[in-house]
Amino acid sequence: MGILLKYKAFLLTYVLISTICSLSAQSHEFAQTSIKPPLQWKYGWRDEGRANTIGTFRKNDPMPAASGTIGSGYSPSQIAHAYGFDLISTNGNGVGQTIAIIVAFGSPTLQQDLNAFCTQYSLPSTNVPIVYPSGKPRRSDSGWASETSLDVEWAHAMAPGASIVVVVSADDSINSLLASVNYAVTNVKASVVSMSWGTPEFYGDRAYDSTFNNSSTAFVAAAGDNGAEVDWPACSQYVLGVGGTSLKCTTNGTITSESGWGGSGGGVSATENLPAFQAGWNVNSGRGVPDVSYVADPYTGVEVYCNGSWQVLGGTSLGTPQWAALLARRGSLGNPLNASFGNVLYGNASGSYATDLRDITSGNNGYPCVTGYDLVTGLGSPVANQIVVMAQTPPHVAPTPPPTPSPTPAPISRNPWGWGWNPWSRR
């Protein structure tokens, strides 16, 4: 009996050590995985057979044919009016704040493109520093170049007084991107970090949460563009996850309708616990994603100037730098920015929901949009002039949650040993 018990103990120890080593190796492998930004576009008539279809960087589709003239995308003044940025006082234009844009590969024509964008829309000119913490990339990438232009141009359009620094990773691995995030916090001293990229959540992602748990920097990430799926880092409790909508508005920016976009990432995390700030809003057992929403549908996209031409782009990449700009504008009015913005957002929404946010109640991504919090648009889209003045310490008013999870999430069968689920597969 004693020999048998010793053998069982030895076998159990062997299995545990093997499992730990396997997970460690998988974690290292995942850290080298290539990350793609959630960027989408609508093909136009110049693209012939592809016309009126959607392209996505994550599926390696070719970029649309660019144009030398403005297309059908929304302008900064339209979006600013739609979401209330034009109602924010001028001393709350982002002055004194720094937005760090984290990208891979960057864009060799970024400053020239930004200059053209500013001239077209009568925005104040600005010079954007570009830093390479891990050295300059060995190659260029057209998709990441468009992402870089989108992020910088629209962050500047929504927060023209803020400083913008682009932190470029030498490649698109998680290790490199996180190194750039750390550089933005430690060296750039960023007020807000914008991350228009992500990957499906993975077991072990909580080990990276400390990267975003910072007392002087806020973090914003795209929720993804593959519908009902949870992306990291948007699922971290220390990151504001941005989902997507389809937005229709008039020529002056008055909203006529806004609904949940079918591509918006969202769902209940299998790896992150329910954060305290979501209690009463998200009645599921895990972290709900996204927290908020913004226009993302490429059929209702925005104009971006990249590599000397105009493109109409969408995806949750679009809302991420603009929510970062909104937080920068909040910071310029004297509100501290840090990883606890979730407490501020949900806490204020408990008492002034209809004032601070546009509740999106139609549309779906596989989950339905409902009254209150949902897994497509989170709490909803911003009423920007109210977001910037929300109380830093909100009154405690408990929201009235739906009686059952809405929707009730399907049973989760994912596991780190790969029974039908590969956490390192790329979209």
The catalytic residue positions are 147, 151, 317
Q: Which two tokens stand for residue 358?
A: 């546009």
- The three-state secondary structure class of 320 is helix
Instruction: Give 167-231 as a DSSP string.
Output: EEESSSBHHHHHHHHHHHHHTS--SEEEE--BEE--TTGGGGGGGT--SS-EEEEE--SSSS--E
Per the listing, tokens 């960087």 go with: 57
Contact 225, 190 (CB under 8 A): no
Amino acid at the residue 348: N
The residue among 227, 187, 189, 225 whose CA lies nearest residue 365 is 227
Question: How many degrees, rounded to 5, is the angle at CA 70 between CA 128 and CA 252?
Answer: 90
**φ/ψ bin of 411: left (φ > 0), alpha (ψ from -120 to 50), beta (otherwise):** beta
The two tokens of residue 210 are 């400390």
Q: Is 324 exposed, middle or buried (0-12, 13-18, 19+ CB in 10 A)?
A: buried
Q: Taking Cα atoms as reference points, which of 145, 134, 121, 82 lies closest to residue 322?
A: 82
Smallest CA-to-CA distance from 275 within 284, 266, 265 is with 284
Pairing of strands 218-222, 240-249: parallel
DSSP one-letter code for 53: -
How far is it, in rounded angstroms, from Cα 274 to Cα 293? Answer: 19
* C-alpha to C-alpha distance for 275 and 367, rounded to whole angstroms: 20
C-alpha 281: how far from chain center:
20
Q: What ranges in 32-65 are assigned the alpha helix state H?
A: none
| Encoded amino acid at 267, one letter | G
85: β partners: none
